[in-house]
Amino acid sequence: MRLADVLKLALQNLWRTKFRSFLTILGVIIGISAIVAFVSLGVGLQKITSNQVAGLNALTTLTITQTPATSSMEEGPKLNEEAIDKIKKLNNVGSVTPSVNMPANVESTGTSAGAIIYGIDVQNANIEISGLTFGSLIKDKSSNEAIISSSLAAAFNSNKENVIGKEISIKILKDSAEGYNYSPKELKLKIVGIDNNETSNMVYAPIGKIKDLTQFEKYSTLKVKVASSNDVDLVKDQIKKMGYQVTTIKDLVDQIDKIFLLAEIILGLVGGIGLLVSSLGIINTMTISLLERTHEIGIMKAIGASNYDIRKLFIFESALIGLIGGVVGVGIAVAFGSAFNFILNLLIQSTGQELDVFVTPIKFALVMIGIAALISTFAGIYPTSRAQKLAPIDALRQ
């Protein structure tokens, strides 16, 4: 029996009992669309979260810090010029940007606040500063300019933009044998930019200016840029062997991915219950179909259909229910997700952001269609085995 004929007869049989077939397929559609929608929501939220945590730039950046002393181990090597030279010589390392950070008291427009001062390499400022909301970057390393965080700008003036061009004076808090003291000298800089950090009070200034003020002997962190995210783990291992502590945004993103994967599995299982119920529907439909068509099966066997032919017919019918249900179910879930994303983006158009809450990976959609067809094929095994075992003479008598 040719495949095209099996397909035609199977479709013909489903069409004969349109309403029942529709209800059975609807069960599969609900199950599949629930799984796909739930998982797409999980994937969408995961992507949004990962993008918030780390842009592409952050994913290829490693943060190196000095290993602190423990009861069993002395502190690790210092982060100084020698360390920078060593790290620069490693394969796949693009740039090494030092920075220092220290607590300070800052004052501007008559308001003072606690903040963390970052001494940064002005040429590689984009490694430290994720994005400017207002103003511009520091011109060069000799400029008496600073960039402050949105959170600090808000502390100085409710209209953040008005802070641009104002002077900020910085007193560094130093840890000494007598305890914490403010540096005797003050650093006065002009605020030229505001970044998008809404949660912490930060000031970014040229690292040379901080050196002049504090005469620090080691850097707080080194930011190592690698060519691609695939190089991150390799470079990380090499620097760790040199005795430094290394953290990457990739680690955090991996953790987030694991949490979301778990959430997606749970959501998928919830949707899977629907699919399980629909597979019972398929067994029921195919069994009723078998009972109704017993005489017909007898005729088919009498005119030359083998048990194998009957099995092919029933299995194809079952698989078609799953395949149609899978395709339509995935289609509905994707359409629903796209409509939701479209409406959401219309509503947040003014913020200039674009958010896709539902993201359906193509591979996942195809796998779900395959699973739907597979489950319904399995659901058809019991009625199929009953159909093929029917003796033609018994079937004809019914």
Residues near other proteins (CB under 8 A): 1-2, 4-5, 9, 12, 16, 295-296, 298-309, 391-393, 396
Residue 348 CB, nearest approach to other proteins (Å): 54
Residue 166 or 311: the one with the smaller Cβ distance to other proteins is 311
Residue 2 CB, nearest approach to other proteins (Å): 6
Residue 240 or 397: the one with the smaller Cβ distance to other proteins is 397
Dump the DSSP string for 114-178. EEEEEEE-GGGHHHH---EEEE-----TT--EEEEEHHHHHHH-SSGGGGTT-EEEEEEEEEETT
Dump the DSSP string for 227-262. SSGGGHHHHHHHHHHTTEEEEEHHHHHHHHHHHHHH
Spatial contact of 332 and 341, defined as CB atoms under 8 Å apart? no
Spatial contact of 191 and 111, defined as CB atoms under 8 Å apart? no
Residue 76 or 392: the one with the smaller Cβ distance to other proteins is 392
Judged on CB neighbours under 10 Å (0-12, 13-18, 19+), 293 is buried
Residue 298 or 325: the one with the smaller Cβ distance to other proteins is 298
Residue 3 CB, nearest approach to other proteins (Å): 10
Residue 1 or 355: the one with the smaller Cβ distance to other proteins is 1
Residue 310 CB, nearest approach to other proteins (Å): 9
Residue 392 CB, nearest approach to other proteins (Å): 5
**H helix or E strand, kind and range, residue 188:** strand 187-195
Residue 15 or 180: the one with the smaller Cβ distance to other proteins is 15
Residue 307 CB, nearest approach to other proteins (Å): 5
Place of tokens 């007193």: 171
Token duo for residue 285: 């439909």
Spatial contact of 184 and 213, defined as CB atoms under 8 Å apart? no
Residue 18 CB, nearest approach to other proteins (Å): 12
CA distance 367 to 333: 14
Spatial contact of 57 and 126, defined as CB atoms under 8 Å apart? yes
Residue 308 or 342: the one with the smaller Cβ distance to other proteins is 308
